[in-house]
């Protein structure tokens, strides 16, 4: 689809469609050692990765469900044994095709409706697209490949960049012992992105990965690993979506970002999950959460400062209506020796009514005295006087509230390429109308 066709296409129609299931391989429901071995064998993984998966499975089996966290969402209906953990789509090229035309028609049509090929042409340095459990398309513009930038799927990275992956994969930032769902992810992860930016290299257009779930009752567990060497820079954008399902699905992705001295990484995500998809990510990023009726959105981030003069910013914005609940739960760790490091955590919440709620639960672990740590949280309600003022300027009630929300999220949308900023605003409008999920 062209940019003009995408703009004229109803946004709900672009996300709320579902294709007939067509897979080359599908694991049995549930999680046990045999399932782990089957997945690892299907991917032809080295033994060290299989052993990490089995170690993560052991952590998962030993850990209780995290129902004792303050303000934890209700996870009583999450039944891992009812989830299909791995579905390999039926495509000829393992690791992703380099041309959209090489994909089966139904997969081409899926990503065409989502606007991914058009965005690749207009605003991106590279694109990866995952369908079910594996990457189906992967491409990086030649100008960046020539500079040594690597952007490939994680399964290929395990084979072709084994030493780097072995050093960083779930060993430092998000170990499988971190929590029960990090352990689940470590046991059955599949797909995801590997980004490596060499020293003194600036990738001045974003790279993007898009993850799409299509099948009822499946789990998606992609892993993203980003490594920025000294004095490098990259902006990584992640998009995720799923149609409405008759049964619950589970998304438990993982993201690890390593930023070396003088480097800068911006990680942004735009997610549109249906209301019966449990999204239990283990990552850190700029985030916008929207909770409607019956939704409990629990988001957060972890940042570790392990070197002097390091800086980080966490931005979290949440919107709640019709009794929805949002919660930010995050950790900032300042290691001993992280002299002159600084971090700023900014959590802003906007309420539509008196029934909706928002909580902020920051954790700060400070082991170094000469650091700058700031946390700011604000909670506000859409005021009648604000709506009345905009109505006096000719807007109706819905348009007035949408304008207020657009202004609220603008500090984040202005960091995104225009195609994504427009799309995010359209998704927010649909959520406010109750059209999605």
Residues 276-314: tens digit of each pLDDT: 444 444 444 466 777 777 777 777 788 899 989 999 888
Q: What is the mean pLDDT of the chain?
A: 76
Judge whether 315 and 287 are in contact, CB under 8 Å: yes
Q: What are 196's strand-pairing partners?
A: 150, 227
Neighbour-count burial for 34-57, b at 16+ CB within 10 Å, e otherwise: ebbebbbebbebeeebbebbebbb
Token reading at 39: 């997945």
Token reading at 27: 């694991």
How confident is residue 364, by pLDDT bands cut at 50, 70 and 90? very high
Q: pLDDT digits over 150-174, tens only?
A: 988 898 899 999 999 999 999 988 8
Q: pLDDT digits over 218-234, tens only?
A: 677 889 899 999 999 99
d(CA 145, CA 156): 16
d(CA 318, CA 350): 6
Task: Output phi, psi for 419, to 5 deg.
Answer: -60, -40
Q: In what order do the strands lie in the sheet with 150-153?
A: 150-153, 193-197, 223-228, 254-259
Q: What is the pLDDT of residue 129?
A: 62
- Identify the DSSP state of 282: B
Token reading at 146: 């020539």
Q: What are 87's strand-pairing partners?
A: 26
Lowest mean pLDDT among 189-193, 257-261, 299-303, 417-421: 417-421
d(CA 404, CA 386): 8
d(CA 176, CA 185): 8
Task: Output phi, psi for 36, to 5 deg.
Answer: -60, -45
Say if residue 174 is exposed, middle or buried (CB neighbours under 10 Å; 0-12, 13-18, 19+).
buried
Q: Which is more confident, 23 or 415?
A: 415
- Dihedral angle of Cα 402, 403, 404, 405, to the nearest 10 degrees: 50
CB neighbours of residue 403 within 10 Å = 15
Largest CA distance in the chain: 67
Q: What is the pLDDT of residue 201?
A: 94
How confident is residue 194, by pLDDT bands cut at 50, 70 and 90? very high
Judge whether 277 and 432 are in contact, CB under 8 Å: no
CB neighbours of residue 365 within 10 Å = 11
d(CA 64, CA 146): 47
Judge whether 278 and 251 are in contact, CB under 8 Å: yes
Question: Full-prediction pTM beyond 0.75?
Answer: no
Residue 17 has pLDDT above 50, yes or no: no
Taking residues 46-59, what's their average pLDDT?
96
């Amino acid at each position: 689809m062209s940019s003009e066709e995408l703009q004229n296409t109803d946004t709900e129609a672009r996300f709320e469609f579902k294709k007939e299931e067509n897979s080359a391989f599908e694991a049995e429901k549930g999680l046990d050692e045999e399932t782990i071995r089957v997945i690892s064998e299907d991917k032809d993984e080295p033994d060290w990765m299989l052993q990490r998966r089995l170690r993560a499975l052991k952590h998962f089996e030993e850990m209780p469900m995290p129902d004792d966290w303050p303000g934890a969402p209700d996870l009583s209906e999450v039944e891992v044994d009812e989830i299909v953990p791995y579905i390999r789509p039926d495509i000829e090229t393992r690791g992703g095709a380099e041309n959209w035309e090489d994909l089966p028609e139904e997969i081409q049509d899926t990503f065409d409706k989502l606007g991914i090929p058009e965005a690749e042409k207009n605003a991106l340095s590279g694109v990866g697209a995952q369908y079910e459990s594996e990457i189906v398309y992967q491409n990086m513009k030649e100008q960046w490949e020539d500079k040594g930038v690597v952007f490939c799927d994680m399964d290929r990275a395990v084979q072709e960049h084994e030493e780097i992956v072995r050093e960083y994969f779930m060993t430092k930032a998000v170990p499988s012992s971190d929590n029960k769902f990090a352990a689940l992810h470590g046991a059955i992860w599949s797909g995801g992105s590997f980004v490596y930016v060499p020293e003194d290299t600036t990738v001045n257009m974003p790279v993007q990965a898009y993850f799409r779930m299509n099948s009822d009752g499946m789990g998606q567990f992609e892993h993203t690993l980003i490594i920025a060497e000294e004095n490098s820079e990259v902006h990584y954008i992640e998009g995720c979506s799923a149609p409405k399902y008759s049964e619950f699905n589970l998304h438990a992705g993982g993201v690890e970002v390593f930023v070396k001295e003088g480097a800068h990484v911006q990680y942004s995500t735009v997610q549109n999950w249906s209301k019966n998809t449990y999204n239990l990510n283990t990552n850190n990023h700029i985030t916008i959460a929207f909770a409607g009726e019956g939704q409990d959105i629990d988001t957060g981030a972890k940042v570790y400062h392990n070197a002097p003069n390091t800086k980080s910013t966490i931005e979290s914005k949440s919107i709640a209506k019709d009794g929805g609940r949002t919660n930010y739960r995050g950790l900032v760790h300042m290691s001993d020796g992280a002299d002159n490091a600084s971090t700023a955590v900014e959590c802003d919440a906007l309420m539509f009514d008196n029934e909706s709620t928002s909580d902020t639960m920051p954790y700060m672990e400070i082991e170094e005295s000469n650091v700058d740590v700031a946390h700011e949280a604000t909670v506000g309600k859409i005021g009648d006087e604000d709506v009345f003022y905009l109505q006096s300027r000719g807007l109706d009630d819905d348009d007035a509230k949408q304008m207020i929300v657009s202004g609220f999220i603008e500090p984040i949308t202005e960091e995104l390429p225009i195609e994504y900023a427009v799309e995010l605003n359209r998704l927010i409008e649909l959520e406010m109308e109750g059209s999605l999920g």
